[in-house]
Amino acid sequence: MRKALLCGTALMAVFGLATLAPAADTIPVGHLACYTGPTSDVGAPYGNGVADAMKYINENGGVAGKQLEYETVDYAYKAPQAIATYKNWVSGLKPVAIQGWGTADTEALVQFVARDEIPYFSASYSGHLTDPTGKSPKTKSPAPYNFFYGPSYSDTCRGLVQWAAEDWKAKGKKETPKFIHMGANHPYPNAPKDACAAYAKELGFEVLNPIVYDLKPGDAKAQCLTLKDSGANYAYLGNTAGSNISLLNSCGTVGAKPQFLANVWGWDENSIKAAQESGDGVAVPLGSPSWKEDAPGMKTVRAIAKVSDPTGDTYRNLHYMRGVCSVFYMKDAMIAADKMKGGITGPNIKKGMEQMVNHVPAGLEGVCLPSTWTGEDHRGTTSVQVYTTTYNGGDFKFNKQSTIDVPRRDDWLGW
């Protein structure tokens, strides 16, 4: 098994290791990780979940008796480096599947992976990746080989604003609620912006002009003053957790206190502890149970976590579990592919994914959401679990609010 953690300029020096053809009893897989760079606060735990899951699979019989031959590259959230890594993998490692990360790089690689017939399991949940045939007029590009675990950013934001509309009514408010999108001017925070704004308008919100704030943590008092002056009642946070901690701390100092709605990478246990009272009440879509919970599948997750921490004492946050789920959906698609003519190839893995109906990987019940992919629709799920969070003297709590089943509308495919 080839395992390498590569970063920066070390990349090109090590790619020579991948020039040999993989052995017949191995399955080559690329792992594009973000252990450094502006989204590493959430990229590191997710990448650890992916790496631990693949090693665990190998230590427990592999996939249909074959070992995953994987190579991990830290691309530091730089899209050009991701593209260069991909091209080197295609000529060397020759992966039949890739576990990826960000939106800018995943969207840039859509046509490459389609051409090369390599299923790409990203941690970008961009709605632009959900239309495999390009039948939707709003689709940027057909994405037949792109998959991800969980609802898209667009459907997640739609679920949050649907919850916000219900929250507004429950509070007995009569005036028109105001919604605002906040985030960096970058493909990841921007991915759901237009789609979510359109649905917010459908639900009766007044949609305000977006506010831009940096993906890197920093003082955001100016943005918070703009937010306060806008009169927004509900504010969607499009950035990752580290950036959002800074924003909420800044907003707390100037008294900007709308109901914040975080994207799936935008709030977690570390955020709650760091922001403390400034972050109380943030609404977050949980895509997995927390480490503290006792869902049946957490037994498997805890066994996987011991791959890198035999003591089992290391706390794994929400993003770790999503990384595990992504790998195990890939594994199950490979098992299905192994039974097809030609065996475990990219096209057969794709077919394996598109045969899943309300599927949960064995042993991960209660951890991974039941998911369905078809050859016409790569929205695995549109179920959004909304929680609010509270900080309590060094500890934290996730408070279940609602499960929103976002409509699977044809006009929302690829958007």
pLDDT grade for 86, boundaries at 50, 70 and 90? very high
CA atoms within 13 A on the CB side of 130: 32
366-391 average pLDDT score: 97
Over residues 318-351, the pLDDT tens digits come to 999 999 999 999 999 999 999 999 999 999 999 9
Instruction: Tell me: pLDDT of 260 over 80.
Output: yes
- Alpha-carbon gap, residue 79 to 13, rounded angstroms: 19
Kindly give, in sequence order, each residue whose CB lies less than 8 Å from that of residue 31, ignoring residues fewer than 6 positions away: 47, 50, 51, 54, 70, 71, 72, 73, 98, 99
pLDDT value, residue 24: 63
Arch. (CATH architecture) of 154-286+383-412: 3-Layer(aba) Sandwich (3.40)
Tokens of 242: 């580290």
Give domain limits for the chain: 5-150+292-353, 154-286+383-412
Write b or e for each residue in 200-210: b if 16 or more Cβ atoms lie within 10 A of its Cβ, otherwise e. beeeebebbeb
Q: What does the buried/exposed string (b/e) look like for 111-121 if buried means 16 or more CB atoms within 10 Å of the residue's CB? A: eebbebebbbb
Neighbouring C-beta atoms of residue 13, cutoff 10 Å? 9
Q: Where are the beta strands (DSSP E) in 117-248?
A: 120-122, 146-148, 178-182, 206-207, 234-237
Sorted by sequence, the CB contacts under 8 Å of residue 350 that are 6+ apart come out as: 117, 119, 144, 145, 333
Going from the C-alpha of 252 to that of each of 72, 225, 245, 276, 369, the distances in angstroms are: 39, 10, 11, 11, 34
CA–CA separation, 89 and 66 (whole Å): 20
User: What is the per-residue pLDDT for 367?
Assistant: 98
Q: Do domains 5-150+292-353 and 154-286+383-412 have the same CATH topology?
A: yes
Q: Tell me the mean pLDDT in the region 225-237.
A: 98
CA distances from 354 to 132, 146, 318, 329, 372 (A): 11, 11, 26, 11, 7
Could you name the CATH architecture of 5-150+292-353? 3-Layer(aba) Sandwich (3.40)
- Tell me: pLDDT of 21 over 50: no
pTM: 0.93
pLDDT at 298 over 70: yes
Q: Are 384 and 151 in contact (CB under 8 A)?
A: yes
Using the predicted structure, report yes or no on whether residue 311 has a pLDDT greater than 80.
yes
Contacts of 82 (CB under 8 A, 6+ apart): 32, 75, 100, 101, 102, 105, 108, 109
* pLDDT of amino acid 222: 98
- In this structure, are residues 290 and 269 in contact, taking their beta carbons and an 8 Å threshold? yes
Quote the CA–CA distance of 86 and 109 in Å, as a whole number: 8
Q: One-letter amino acid identity for 207? A: V
Task: Note the pLDDT tens digit of each residue in 38-61.
Answer: 999 999 999 999 999 999 999 999
Quote helix, strand, coil % in the chain, to nearest 5: 40, 15, 45
Check the CA dihedral 153-155-161-167 and report its sign: negative
How high is the mean pLDDT of the chain? 94
- Residue 407 CB neighbour total at 10 angstroms: 11
Report the run of H or E that residue 7 belongs to, with start and end: strand 5-7
84 half-sphere exposure, CB direction, 13 A CA radius: 17
Rounded to 10 deg, the angle between the 318-338 and 298-305 helix axes is 100
Q: How distant is the alpha carbon of residue 173 from its chain centre?
A: 34
